[in-house]
């Protein structure tokens, strides 16, 4: 093995990648994990994770990520800082290119997650974690008795709005068109829910408040008129973009760019020896517990692939 050759390359150091690493290193595989920014992934952006088993009082996303990293380090995981920008095939080897050089291995786990689409308006970044959220399942329970807005008109936005009515007194769905993209059943449920109302043909142009979110500024895209709407929480559900640009033309991806895995649930992609885990894969439920489950399966699949068991 040359110094850039490993048995396994894991791309992405979020919960899926770190879990794969724990299993792979503990199983004796020579693995490297390549992470382009902070190890821990998306979860480090959230104050409190209340739905990951084992932490009855909840745990900060940052602390949870650190524990996962510590556990992987205990089994000797090598972590390399750098962005994977190219993925090539050379016979049975997969070549992964980073600014630090090329790594090669017979097996790769893709765990590069996804990026949430942002509104890109003033106040959004400043109030992230203080009223601006991208995950109703994660943050909804913090908004009991509140007035909330959900931005978006697809299945995710409507599902999130319905979910939030368990906690909030009122949920306004802000949509830039005059009809929803969500499926009919979801639309009917939302329309029949007394706590939900709709603001059509409108976009959020600013998120406003002092310490926390207090209101959003809306613009009607047909008339151009602007108005403020009181809300203590803004849930952005306008989609996500899988981090798979380096895989275009190499692996089968779905229409959104998520990696397609086998129906048998072994996290196999269209290329032998390449597995995918977590938010990056098609049909992920986009939760830490699910990413951890995928990471486990992917690492065990790699062991079978390499050892032929
Ligand atoms: C604000 C917020 C709050 C959340 N709260 C909760 C919660 O309470 N409970 C819950 O279960 N889930 C929560 N989630 C969802 C959870 O964070 C994700 O489901 C989980 O992090 C997915 O793990 P992952 O490893 O698949 O991907 P990610 O966590 O996205 O990790 C992917 C990693 O890959 C890296 N990467 C990407 N591209 C490359 C590349 N080309 N080269 C190298 N590295 C790359 C990224 O930098 C990132 O670190 C929340 C998400 C957000 C945004």
Whether residue 139 lies in the annotated active site:
yes
Residue 3 CA to chain centroid, in angstroms? 32
d(CA 71, CA 88): 31
Question: What is the predicted pLDDT for the residue at 182?
Answer: 86
Question: What is the predicted pLDDT for the residue at 10?
Answer: 98
Mean pLDDT of 221-238: 97
309 pLDDT tier (thresholds 50, 70, 90): low
Residue 307 CA to chain centroid, in angstroms? 31
46 pLDDT tier (thresholds 50, 70, 90): confident
Question: What is the predicted pLDDT for the residue at 179?
Answer: 94
**Whether the predicted pLDDT of 1 surpasses 60:** no
Question: What is the predicted pLDDT for the residue at 48?
Answer: 78
**Whether the predicted pLDDT of 184 surpasses 80:** yes
pTM: 0.84
Cβ–ligand 1 distance for 281 under 6 Å, the answer: no
**Whether the predicted pLDDT of 111 surpasses 70:** yes
Cβ–ligand 1 distance for 100 under 6 Å, the answer: no
For residue 123, report the phi and psi dihedrals to the nearest 5 degrees: 95, -25
Mean pLDDT of 114-143: 93
For ligand 1, pick from 9, 11, 14, 51 the residue to mutate: most ligand atoms within 8 Å of CB. Answer: 14
**Whether the predicted pLDDT of 214 surpasses 60:** yes
DSSP state of 237: -
Q: Which residue, 293, 249, 301, 296, is CA-closest to 107?
A: 301
112 CA from centroid of ligand 1 (Å): 8
Residue 278 CA to chain centroid, in angstroms? 8
Question: What is the predicted pLDDT for the residue at 66?
Answer: 96
Better-scored residue on pLDDT, 49 or 69 = 69
Mean pLDDT of 214-220: 98
d(CA 107, CA 25): 14
Question: What is the predicted pLDDT for the residue at 183?
Answer: 87
Mean model confidence pLDDT for the chain:
95
Given 25, 47, 138, 201, which residue is catalytic? 138
13 pLDDT tier (thresholds 50, 70, 90): very high
Domains of the chain, first to last: 8-116+240-307 (3.50.50.60), 132-236 (3.50.50.60)
The two structure tokens encoding residue 79: 């972590």
Better-scored residue on pLDDT, 42 or 243 = 243
**Whether the predicted pLDDT of 2 surpasses 60:** no
Given 25, 139, 279, 294, which residue is catalytic? 139
Whether residue 25 lies in the annotated active site:
no
Mean pLDDT of 44-56: 86
227 CA from centroid of ligand 1 (Å): 34
98 CA from centroid of ligand 1 (Å): 20
Contact 49, 56 (CB under 8 A): no
């Amino acid at each position: 093995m040359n110094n850039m050759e490993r048995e396994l390359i894991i791309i992405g150091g979020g919960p899926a990648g770190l879990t794969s690493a724990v299993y792979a290193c503990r199983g004796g595989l020579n693995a490297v994990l390549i992470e382009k920014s902070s190890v821990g992934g998306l979860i480090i952006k959230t104050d409190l994770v209340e739905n990951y088993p084992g932490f009855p009082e909840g745990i900060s996303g940052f602390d949870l990520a650190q524990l996962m990293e510590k556990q992987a380090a205990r089994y000797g995981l090598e972590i390399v800082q750098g962005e994977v920008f190219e993925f090539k095939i050379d016979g049975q080897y997969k070549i992964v290119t980073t600014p630090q050089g090329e790594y090669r291995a017979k097996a790769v786990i893709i765990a590069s997650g996804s990026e949430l689409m942002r509104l890109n308006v003033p106040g959004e970044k400043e109030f992230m974690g203080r009223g601006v959220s991208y995950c109703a399942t994660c943050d909804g329970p913090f908004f009991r008795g509140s007035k909330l807005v959900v931005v978006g008109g697809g299945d995710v936005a409507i599902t999130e709005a319905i979910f939030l009515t368990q906690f909030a007194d009122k949920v306004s769905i802000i949509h830039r068109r005059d009809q929803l993209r969500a499926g009919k059943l979801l639309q009917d449920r939302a329309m029949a829910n007394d706590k939900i109302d709709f603001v059509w043909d409108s976009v959020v142009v600013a998120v406003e408040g002092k310490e926390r979110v207090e209101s959003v500024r809306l613009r009607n895209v047909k008339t151009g008129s602007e108005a403020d709407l009181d809300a203590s929480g803004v849930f952005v559900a306008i989609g996500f973009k899988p981090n798979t640009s380096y895989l275009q033309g190499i692996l089968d991806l779905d229409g959104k760019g998520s990696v397609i895995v086998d129906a048998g649930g072994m996290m196999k992609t269209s290329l032998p020896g390449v597995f995918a885990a977590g938010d990056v894969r098609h049909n992920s439920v986009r939760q830490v517990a699910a990413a951890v489950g995928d990471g486990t399966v992917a690492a065990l699949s790699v062991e079978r692939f390499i050892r032929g068991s």
